């Protein structure tokens, strides 16, 4: 079977004004920058885009801006539509369909301790709301709980569910799921250990640091596809140097500082998310890592 949704996708970040409001101009500038990095596509409105801190109207506006920026570029667009309630998720899904997005994705509901049956019902109903393929999401660090393997297997067999974004270090679970549902598409979500997922059969990746190092991750994916493990290890180690620097600043605030240094102003992160150090120190830290010989050649 040919899988249509494969390759490397930037988990697109969000452009905000200095006062924290959604900023269309900054979103356009950021989106245009990421679109130049030869990625398969963009994953819009997810955690990397601070979706949990945005309201539905802002997410709808972002969907439209990104669709407009990507028009005519041959870029695959995946809209993350996971909201705290199914009603808003369906609203986001329907708008993404109308804008020409190619697929949907969604966090499982996690505002309350939902049962496995409730999570399955959420995904079944969301998948049925449009004809677009749906990519489910396993991310225990965000939801506070893993979805059990039998439940994930059932979800992947629902109509219109085409795959999963797997952001977990339970690689045995990943492998078992691939064996049980071989026709699904598997995206791996930890940038700094993408090779682990690729070795075990990931069809591609979706990541935050792809916003600035997209070309590196495209090369890493190609190296794994070609069986060039030494080259893949070299590129993975470069990505880890960058990710390690972000751990000190906070991932999203540090990414915005790094983008600012590349001439892409996308504003601050929305409160209460904030830098873990002063702005000057964060920019100095990110400047130093961007200038490293392992990183600099991959920047545009």
Q: Is residue 218 part of a domain?
A: yes
In this prediction, residue 83 carries a pLDDT of: 95
Mean per-residue pLDDT, 84-103: 97
Closest among 8, 6, 3 to 213, alpha carbons compared: 8
> What pLDDT, on a 0 to 100 scale, did the predictor assign at position 139?
95
Q: What is the mean pLDDT of the chain?
A: 97
**pLDDT for position 98:** 98
Per-residue pLDDT, 269: 98
Chain segment 43-65, per-residue pLDDT in tens: 999 999 999 999 999 999 999 99
Region 166-170: what's the mean pLDDT? 97
| Tally of structural domains, the chain | 1
Residue 106 lies in a domain: yes
Closest CA to 279 of 258, 247, 250, 257: 257
Q: Within a domain: residue 17?
A: yes
Give a yes or no: residue 234 inside a domain.
no
Quickly list DSSP for the chain. Answer: ---SS-EEEEE----B-TTS-B-HHHHHHHHHHHHTT--SEEEESSGGGTGGGS-HHHHHHHHHHHHHHHTTTT-EEEEE---SSHHHHHHHHHHHHHHT-SEEEEPPP-SS---HHHHHHHHHHHHHHSSS-EEEEE-HHHHSSPPPHHHHHHHHTSTTEEEEEE--S-HHHHHHHHHHSTTSEEEE--GGGHHHHHHTT--EEEESTHHHHHHHHHHHHHHHHTT-HHHHHHHHHHHHHHHHHHHHH-HHHHHHHHHHHTT----PPPTT---SS-HHHHHHHHHHHHTSTTTGGG--
User: What pLDDT, in 10s, does the model give residues 118-145?
Assistant: 999 999 999 999 999 999 999 999 898 9
33, 101, 123, 165: the active-site residue: 165
pLDDT at residue 2, rounded to an integer: 72
Torsion of CA 230, 236, 241, 246, to 10 degrees: 180
Residue 165 designated active-site = yes
User: Quick check: is 141 in a domain?
Assistant: yes
Given the residues 101, 137, 210, 217, the one annotated as active site: 137
Give 111's pLDDT tier (boundaries 50, 70, 90).
Answer: confident
Overall average pLDDT of the 75-98 stretch: 97
CA atoms within 13 A on the CB side of 247: 8
Residue 71: active-site member: no
Domain containing residue 200: 7-228
Q: What is the pLDDT of residue 110?
A: 85
Exposure string over 127-138, b if 16+ CB within 10 A, otherwise e:
bebbebbbbbbb
For 230-267, the pLDDT digits (tens) are 999 999 999 999 999 999 999 999 999 999 999 999 99
pLDDT value, residue 275: 95
Residue 75: inside a domain: yes
What is the reported pTM? 0.97
Q: Is residue 1 scored above 70 in pLDDT?
A: no
pLDDT of residue 290: 98
Residue 22 is part of a domain; what is its CATH number? 3.20.20.70
- pLDDT tens-place string over residues 7-41: 999 999 999 999 999 999 999 999 999 999 999 99
In a domain, 58, yes or no: yes
Residue 265 makes CB contacts below 8 A (sequence gap 6+) with 26, 29, 259
User: Residue 4 has what pLDDT?
Assistant: 85
Structure tokens at 204: 């591609």
The average pLDDT across 165-172 equals 98
Confidence of residue 3 (pLDDT cuts 50, 70, 90): confident
| 64 is a domain residue | yes
Q: Which residue has the tokens 């000190």?
A: 248
What local confidence, expressed as pLDDT, does residue 80 receive? Answer: 98
Tokens of 44: 């819009």
């Amino acid at each position: 079977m040919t899988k249509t949704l494969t390759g490397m996708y930037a988990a697109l970040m969000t452009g905000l004004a200095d006062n924290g409001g959604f900023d269309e101009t900054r979103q356009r500038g950021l989106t245009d920058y990421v679109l130049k990095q030869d990625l398969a596509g963009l994953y819009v409105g997810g955690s990397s885009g601070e979706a949990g801190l945005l309201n539905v109207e802002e997410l709808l506006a972002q969907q439209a801006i990104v669709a407009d920026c990507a028009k005519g570029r041959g870029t695959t667009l995946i809209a993350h539509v996971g909201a705290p309630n199914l009603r808003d998720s369906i609203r986001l899904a329907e708008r993404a369909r109308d804008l020409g997005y190619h697929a949907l994705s969604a966090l499982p509901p996690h505002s309350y301790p939902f049962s496995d049956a409730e999570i399955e019902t959420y995904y079944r109903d969301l998948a049925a709301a449009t004809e677009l393929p749906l990519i489910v999401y396993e991310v225990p660090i965000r939801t506070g709980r893993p979805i059990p393997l039998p439940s994930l297997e059932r979800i992947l067999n629902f109509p219109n569910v085409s795959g999963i974004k797997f952001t977990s270090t339970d690689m045995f679970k990943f492998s078992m799921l691939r064996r049980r549902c071989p026709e699904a598409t598997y995206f791996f979500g930890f940038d700094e250990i993408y090779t682990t997922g690729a070795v075990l059969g990931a069809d591609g990746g979706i990541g935050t640091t792809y916003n600035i190092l997209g070309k590196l991750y495209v090369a890493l994916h190609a190296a794994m596809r070609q069986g060039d493990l030494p080259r893949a290890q070299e590129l993975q180690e470069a990505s880890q140097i960058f990710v390690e620097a972000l751990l000190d600043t906070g991932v999203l605030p540090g990414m915005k500082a790094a983008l600012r240094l590349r001439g892409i102003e996308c504003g601050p992160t929305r409160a209460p998310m904030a830098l873990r150090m002063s702005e000057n120190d964060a920019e100095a830290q990110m400047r130093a890592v961007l200038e490293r010989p392992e990183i600099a050649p991959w920047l545009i």
